[in-house]
Amino acid sequence: MKPRSIVLILGMAAGVICPASGQSAESAPPAGDAASRAAIEDRFAKSLHGTDAGRRHWYELPDGFGAVCELPFDDPALGCSGCHADGCDACHAPASGAGADFSLETARRSDTCLQCHFRQVEERRFAEERGFPDVHLEAGMACIDCHTLEEMHGDGRAQETMHAPENPSPTCTGCHSGERLDSYPHTVHGGKLACAACHVENTLACLNCHIDTVVREKTIEDNYLSTCDWTLLVNHHGQVTTGTALTLVTGGKKFLAYAPYFTHAVQPQGRDCGECHAARGGRRVRSEEPLPMAKFWEDALIPYNGVVPLKPDMLIWPYLEKEDGLWMYSTNPDTARIQLVGGCTPLDPQQIRYLTLPQRR
C-alpha cells in the first residue's frame, strides 16, 4: 500500500491492476502464450492505471495547480508521479507463506482497489456515518462488477484523462433497463440528465489541502478537510450530472478545481423533484447572491447542505492556512485560480432558470 501523500487529493485518476515490471515467473499470469501476455502488457503501459498521465495532464495545464504550486509534477515532495500500479503484483499477488502467487481472486476484491483509491475509502466512511450506504455495496457487489477489464488494463490507446468521452467507463444502463426506464421520472428530462444527478445522495469533496504542510510533513493526514453534504450539478458530455470541488492552498495562494465526479452513494429511490427544482441553492445562484459552500468555525468545517448548480463566481469557499497544527482563515485577499477539469462546464442561465421553477406533476 502506497503512503498517503498528496495523491489522495489530486487523485482524479488513481491506479490499480496488472502488468509487468520485474515480475517473477512464479507470479506470472497464465496468459496462454508470450504474444498474448505481451499484448496485455503493451495495453497496460499506456493505460491510466499503468501511468501517471491522468494526474499529470491536469496538473501541468496552464490553468492547472502546477502554475500555483510552482513545484514540478515529478518532485518527490508532492508524491504525485509515483501513483500508478507497478505491474501485475500490485493487484494480483497476495502474500503467502511461500511468497507471492498470481491470483485473479485477489484482483477482484474491492479491498485491493481501496489500497490506492483513497477517495472511495472516504466515501464509504461518510456513507456509514451518515446512513446513506450505496445500494450496490449493500447488495454485495464489488468494484469489478461495474468496472471492466478494459478499464483496468487499458484499451491500447495512450490515455491522458479518465474524463475523455472515448475512454471505457461503466454506465447504469449496462445493467438497468426495461419498462422502469420508460417511466415519467426517467423521461421528463429528455435524456439531458445523468442518472447520478438524481440517484447519488451527496458529493464527496476534499477541501483546503494545505500543500506547504503536506510537503513539510510528507503526509496528507490531517492536512485537508473533507465533506459529503451537498450535491453539485455540472454539465458534462451533454448531460447534467454530479460534480465535485477541490481546493488547495500553497504559499498563501489559492486554487479551486471543479470536476465531474461520481460518488459511490447511489440510492434506489431518486430525489424528490423539489430537492433540485426551486431549491434555495439554485434560487440564490440565479439571483446573483453569493452562496457560502462551507464555513469554518471552532475548528470544524460546517458545509452547505443541498443541491447547488455550478456557477463559479457565485460559490464561496473557505481557504485556510495551517500554523502549529491549527487551521485559520487565509488573510490573502486574492481570488483563487479556477480550473474546470474533465470537460465539465457550469450550468447556463437557462438551465439555472429551469432549476428554480416549481415543477408540475
pLDDT digit string, tens, across residues 121-134: 999 999 999 999 99
* Whole-number pLDDT of residue 159: 86
All residues at 6 or more sequence positions from 87 whose CB lies less than 8 Å from its CB, including other chains: 18, 19, 20, 21, 22, 23
Hey, which of 9-18, 104-113, 158-167, 284-293 has the most confident mean pLDDT?
284-293
Query: Tell me, what amino acid is at 73?
Result: F
* Whole-number pLDDT of residue 99: 52
Please give the span between the terminal C-alpha atoms of the chain, in angstroms, as a whole number: 51
* Whole-number pLDDT of residue 19: 29
Spell out a b/e string for 156-166, using b for 16 or more CB atoms within 10 Å of the CB, else e: eeebbbbbbee
Mean pLDDT of 348-352: 96
The alpha carbon dihedral of 194, 197, 199, 203 has a sign of positive
Among 8-17, 33-42, 341-350, the minimum mean pLDDT is found in 8-17
User: Helices in 29-88 by DSSP H: which ranges?
Assistant: 34-45, 53-60, 66-69
* Whole-number pLDDT of residue 7: 47
* Whole-number pLDDT of residue 351: 96
CA distance 320 to 331: 9
Give the rounded percent of residues in the chain with a pLDDT score beyond 90: 57
Query: Tell me, what amino acid is at 31?
Result: A
Specify whether the backbone of 190 is left (phi greater than 0), alpha (psi in -120 to 50) or beta. Answer: left
CA distance 285 to 28: 56
Q: What is the pLDDT of residues 79-115, one digit of tens each?
A: 777 778 877 888 888 765 555 567 888 889 999 999 9
Q: In the predicted model, is pLDDT for residue 347 greater than 80?
A: yes
* Whole-number pLDDT of residue 220: 86
Mean pLDDT of 357-361: 71
* Whole-number pLDDT of residue 98: 55
Average pLDDT, the chain: 86
- Per-residue cell: 29: 499470469
- Per-residue cell: 64: 492547472
Query: Tell me, what amino acid is at 235?
Result: N
* Whole-number pLDDT of residue 14: 34
What secondary structure letter does DSSP report for 49? T
- Per-residue cell: 162: 479518465
Among 6-10, 78-82, 232-236, 258-262, the minimum mean pLDDT is found in 6-10
- Per-residue cell: 340: 474546470
Hey, is 312 helix, strand or coil? helix
Are 83 and 90 within 8 A, CB to CB? no
In this structure, the number of other CB atoms found within 10 A of the CB of residue 152 comes to 24
In this structure, what are the phi and psi dihedrals at residue 236, rounded to the nearest 5 degrees?
Answer: -155, 125
* Whole-number pLDDT of residue 265: 95
Q: Which residue, chain included where needed, has cell 471492466?
A: 148
* Whole-number pLDDT of residue 18: 30
From the CA atom positions of the chain, what is the Rg in Å? 21
CA distance 349 to 326: 40
* Whole-number pLDDT of residue 125: 95
- Domain extent listing, the chain: 1-21+32-170, 180-361
How many alpha carbons fall within 13 Å on the CB side of residue 321? Answer: 9
CA distance 206 to 257: 11
Q: Indicate the pTM of the whole model.
A: 0.88
- Per-residue cell: 12: 482524479
Query: What burial class does residue 121 get, using C-beta atoms within 10 Å of its C-beta: 0-12 exposed, 13-18 middle, 19+ buried?
Result: middle
In 3D, which of 315, 169, 157 has the Cα closest to residue 236?
Answer: 169
